[in-house]
Chains A and B, each alone.
Chain A
Amino acid sequence: MYRPHVLVCCGTGCTSSGSAKVIETLEAEIAKAGLSEEIKVTRTDCFGLCTVGPNMIVYPEGCFYSKVNVDDIPEIVAEHLLKGRPVKRLLYKKPVEKDTITCLDHTDFFRKQKRVALRNCGIINPESIEEYIAMDGYEALGKCLTEYTPDQVIQTILDSGLRGRGGAGFPTGMKWRFAAGNRGQVQKYVCCNADEGDPGAFMDRSVLEGDPHCVLEAMAIAGYAIGATQGYIYIRAEYPIAVKRLEIAIEQAREYGLLGKNIFGTDFCFDIELRLGAGAFVCGEETALMTSFEGKRGEPRPRPPFPASKGLFQQPTILNNVETYANIPQIILKGPQWFASMGTEKSKGTKVFALGGKIHNTGLVEIPMGTTLREIVEEIGGGVPNGKKFKAAQTGGPSGGCISAENMDVPIDYDNLIAIGTMMGSGGMIIMDEDNCMVDIAKFFLQFTVDESCGKCTPCRVGTRRLLEMLEKITAGNGTLEDLNKMEELCYYIKNNSLCGLGQTAPNPVLSTLRYFRDEYIAHVVDKTCPAGVCKGLLHFYILPDKCRGCTACARICPVSAISGKVKEAHVIDQTKCIKCGSCIEKCKFGAIITK
């Protein structure tokens, strides 16, 4: 049984560059080291890289030595064959291709990013608490417990200017301060909102899957700041990997005494439990989340009282989003000034966006506040594919609106986005090109809110449905200009009268598309066409007589027998029967069927 195998090339090329001498020396050195029984030297034929001969490969590793010199042999035997350490300097080096990027950090996608909340994502093993600790994990908690008073912790968060990353942008430090009274006298709770439900958003999931401990650490810091001993994470059950990694993380933190009693030898005790959401979008709203948490039907309730005074089980509670928590340990470690140095005047730090839709680089990006949409789309995102033109970016999911091309240079922060009629939201960013119909987009998001409305208050339950019906009327080609005005009126009514954030923001996709893309609505209503060719109700299918060969394929596939014509003669579509399913277009081999 041989341990390593050494293959030396004895092809014509290597022989002429001296491989015979190499083998001779090699065998002598192996014998000298007393390894003849263990190492097999094999003479092989050409490897194909004759220019760099003599060549030699050592298995099992597969190390490829080139231009092997007789003088190098003793080193290879002593280091590699005896001690198992390949002699790196003698390994074959492929010529380095110029201008090739091999590292993610040098791509345009990555260069403009600044990773604070995502600092450990994609770097550490999320199932190892030691690796988190190695990246300064739990150091911030230790610092808070041993060096800061709870009020100092709150002041630090206030000074940093951190605002809630769940969408509304309420200052986190203020939230904590409101809940900070009567420490130690009343039961309080620290909650984490991980019920990420916006279509197209996955920032929170990525943080929980990639760096679960940072959320636990931040929650413990929050617990210390307000005087709570119990934390809860409300996470949607549709995130099984995040749930599993959180469970592992909580278990490890308890084992290490970073959750539990007398953390860091102080009086501070804190523990965290998980609660799984059952998939209702409205449970991302804070009062609905807490109601669901208490085991009741997930419906919102009016505020005040705010959770900071009466939250979970009627006790003072703070509820922050996953990404908000992910920023906290860094703020403690690097100081509030460091955090406040990033971003714009009223929006500090960075924001994670889930970039998707018609864009080259789909993925997760973290950028300083104040970056423009143009930088995100053109530089980080790599532009719109297939040479299409950028039309709009949808932010904030079903609660948000569109940023149109004319606003591409507006620095993105909480207040600027509100001013242009959308919102930061949790961070979904869907890029749309000229092939997207904005009326259809508004309809899509409204369909979502209609499905997800909990039904407690009438403006949201009935209002959003009526709004959807109007949009359906328009996309079917039956809308009137009066409908547009009625829709706007209804939008404001729903916004002003709904009980919770879901209803108050549900009309935003409609309002924002009406504001920036009214011409598209008018095209649907007046000209009865869909400029992007999306709304099927407004499309008509025609057969071009000069291209049609009369093969009858379309007539045979048509599910409603709307196509007639004789073999080898041009066919015709009966518009009254056509259901616009598009089967005929797929079937036609001659490109004879068009829509207009």
Chain B
Amino acid sequence: MKSLEELRAIKAATLNKIGICNDDADAVKVLVGMATCGIAAGARPILNAFTEEIEKRHLKNVAVSQTGCIGICQYEPIVEVYVGKEEKVTYVKMTAEKVARIVNDHIVNGNVVTEYTIGAATINK
């Protein structure tokens, strides 16, 4: 790294890539919590299930990625889905069976699967 300008160029280029903060309203980012807590609770099969389901449906605008500890370890495995600029949706206690429904209902058809989200779990009770 020779200069701050070079660093900022990388920043701009990455921001433009799918996911973190781009303007494409169709871009979808799926983040799977893969810290020790998530992996112990079974996050790896979830990540694989997402990749397979997205492959099967030939979805081009969806990026699946791992991330660190989201914080509510009790509800692992946790998956957060970001669609364009919309507010992220937090799915908790994920299973491979839930993945297909989330891809179909939420990612493809834009209907959040409320019963799998954090609000349906007991977190607020």
Q: Which positions in A face B, CB cutoff 8 Å?
A: 59-64, 84-86, 88, 91-94, 97, 100-110, 113, 118, 120-128, 130-131, 133-136, 138-139, 142-143, 146, 202, 205-207, 209-211, 239, 241-242, 256-258, 263-265, 360-365, 382
Contact = CB atoms under 8 A, between A and B. Distances in A.
B14 A130 contact: yes
Shortest Cβ-Cβ A-B pairs, 7 listed: A210-B68, A101-B119, A122-B70, A134-B14, A104-B90, A206-B69, A362-B74
Given A61-B58, A91-B109, A104-B80, A134 B11 contact: yes
Nearest to B5: A142
Contacts of A88: 26, 110
B4 A264 contact: yes
A91 B110 contact: yes
Central interface residue in A134, A142, A207, by most chain B CB within 10 Å = A134
Contact of A120 (B36, B68, B87): B68
B35 A210 contact: yes
Contacts of B114: 97, 100, 102
B108 interface: yes
A256 B1 contact: yes
Interface residues of B, number: 59
B91 to A, nearest CB: 9
A210 B69 CA distance: 6
Interface in B93-121: 103-105, 108-112, 114, 117-120
A133 B10 contact: yes
Interface string B54-70: 00111110000111111
Contact of B124 (A205, A242, A364, A382): A382
B118 A122 contact: no
Contacts of B90: 102-104
A202 B36 contact: yes
A84 B59 CA distance: 9
Contact of A264 (B1, B10, B69, B105): B1
A135 B20 contact: yes
Contacts of B8: 139
A61 to B, nearest CB: 5
Given A91-B110, A107-B119, A122-B80, A134 B15 contact: yes
Given A102-B118, A104-B70, A139 B7 contact: yes
B74 A363 contact: yes
A103 B88 contact: yes
B11 A363 contact: no
A92 B105 CA distance: 10
27 contacts: A61-B108, A62-B103, A91-B109, A93-B110, A102-B90, A103-B87, A103-B118, A104-B71, A122-B69, A122-B70, A122-B71, A128-B65, A133-B7, A134-B20, A139-B4, A205-B35, A207-B68, A210-B35, A210-B68, A241-B36, A360-B74, A360-B123, A361-B123, A364-B73, A382-B122, A382-B124, A382-B125
Interface in B6-42: 7-8, 10-11, 13-15, 17, 20-21, 26, 31, 33, 35-37, 39
Given A100-B117, A104-B72, A130 B80 contact: no
B109 A62 contact: yes
Contact of A124 (B58, B67, B117, B123): B67
Nearest to A139: B7
A109 B119 contact: no
A113 B72 CA distance: 12
B108 A206 contact: no
Nearest to B65: A125
Contact of B3 (A86, A130, A211, A264): A264
